[in-house]
Amino acid sequence: MYKKILLAYDGSEAGQKALLDCGEIAQWSQAELHLVAVMPSAMSFVGLEGGVYDVELEEREKKKYRGVLDDGLRRLAEGGFTARGEVVTGEAIDEITKYARRIASDLIVVGHKHLDSWAARWWRGSISGALIEHAPCSVLVVITQ
């Protein structure tokens, strides 16, 4: 049975559905529940401000991701679930798998929304698909339509 469950949480509709499912699985298996929100590294923000690194922009982004994580933890607490959470910085797949290894996670849960067009799928890619390829443990993909 699962002992440690990691939810990669981004606050999206798919992420919120995964949050609910993750809480239920953790309760059922009496597992520790961890949430991780992945903020893109500072280099991802460079282009947004005309090629100059902006400390204020990075601070705003940190606050935004901390807010997303806190919202997920609050939603779980309202449902009677206890969880730990952390905001990490970097590439989503790398950071999620690194965090899963660090806590010795048995299961990674991620939300996924089917994209409407081939162009959207090509442009955005599939984090859940890449995560399955690189994860050190089982991955549960919670799908929303």
Alpha-carbon distance of 100 to 7, in angstroms, equals 9
Q: 10-residue block means of pLDDT along the chain (145 residues)?
A: 93 87 89 94 57 77 94 93 94 96 96 63 65 93 84
Question: Residue 106 belongs to a domain with what CATH number?
Answer: 3.40.50.620
- Where does residue 105 rank: exposed (0-12), middle (13-18), buried (19+ CB within 10 A)? buried
Contact call for residues 23 and 142 (beta carbons, < 8 A): no
* Res 19: pLDDT: 87
What is the domain extent for residue 127? Answer: 4-144
Which tens digit of pLDDT belongs to each residue from 60-102? Answer: 989 999 999 999 999 999 999 999 999 999 999 999 999 999 9
pLDDT value at residue 113: 73
Give dist(CA 84, CA 3) in Å, integer.
14
Domain count, the chain: 1
d(CA 113, CA 141): 10
- Distance of alpha carbon 64 from alpha carbon 62, whole angstroms: 5
Strand-strand pairing, 32-39 and 107-113: unpaired
